[in-house]
Amino acid sequence: MTAARLTLPSPAKLNLMLHILGRREDGYHELQTLFQFVDYGDEITFAVRDDGVIQLHTEFAGVPHDSNLIVRAAKMLQQQSGCTLGIDIWIDKVLPMGGGIGGGSSNAATTLLGLNHLWQLGWDEDRLAALGLSLGADVPVFVRGHAAFAEGVGEKLTPVDPEEPWYLVLVPQVSVSTAEIFSDPLLTRNTPPIKVRPVPEGNSRNDCLPVVARRYPEVRNALDLLGKFTEAKLTGTGSCVFGGFPSKAEADKVSALLTETLTGFVAKGSNVSMLHRKLQSLL
């Protein structure tokens, strides 16, 4: 019998590049991006209940209980699977909201995978990823748990294996609205598509960066500071800024210089998410 209580990681992701090819008739943007995970994230604890109630015990400022992606993911899975069990959920939250590192999407995916395991539903990855897509475009990559080249609105995934450097991720104290960035008239929307493998060197820019840097001086400052030591990039629509280093020692050294004025963390890039490594260990 599966243990009735389980704690799982909910990792961050980075967009190593993000190209916007155009705007679709439905208002969404056609894009190409490269997702990689890092070994850093939230931790979510689940405990099965037999009364069907879904209860998130951790409060999020400004987010009503039933609007939280964790709760929405749990309720959707419960309804679509016909499961009569419930769940108590606690989260140790370290990933910032509006940071472009996938906090909410990762939490939703960890919830889907964790409950599939605890409720013994036997759903496969394809079915869970399809359900995840209805919660957000970034949820499927977390459900599948492998670094991927993404197309469409981010849902068409091709597994890839880029290098796995150490990253220093800086977290400016500002939440960036994805909708606001994607509706900015100055956003580049006509980048020509590239072939999946390999993503050409020098073709690793983020089309959102100029818009975010112009609107948010805190992000511009982080890019300037990190850019003195390595190529500084924006992940997603921001606000987090990152750069790669060949060793933990080098990333730590720069972190020590920059985190006096900025919040940040050092983490290893990983092509298989730590959530999937943990789930594998349970089999």
Active site residues: 13, 138
Diameter of the chain by CA atoms? Answer: 56
CB atoms within 10 A of CB 143: 27
Copy the structure tokens of residue 104.
């909410």
Copy the structure tokens of residue 24.
């679709």
How many whole angstroms separate alpha carbon 188 and alpha carbon 50?
A: 51
For 251, list phi and psi in degrees, rounded to 5.
-65, -40
How many whole angstroms separate alpha carbon 167 and alpha carbon 13?
A: 11
Residue 92 C-alpha from the chain's centroid? 16
Q: What is the dihedral of CA 175, 177, 182, 186, to 10 degrees?
A: -60
How many whole angstroms separate alpha carbon 115 and alpha carbon 102?
A: 20
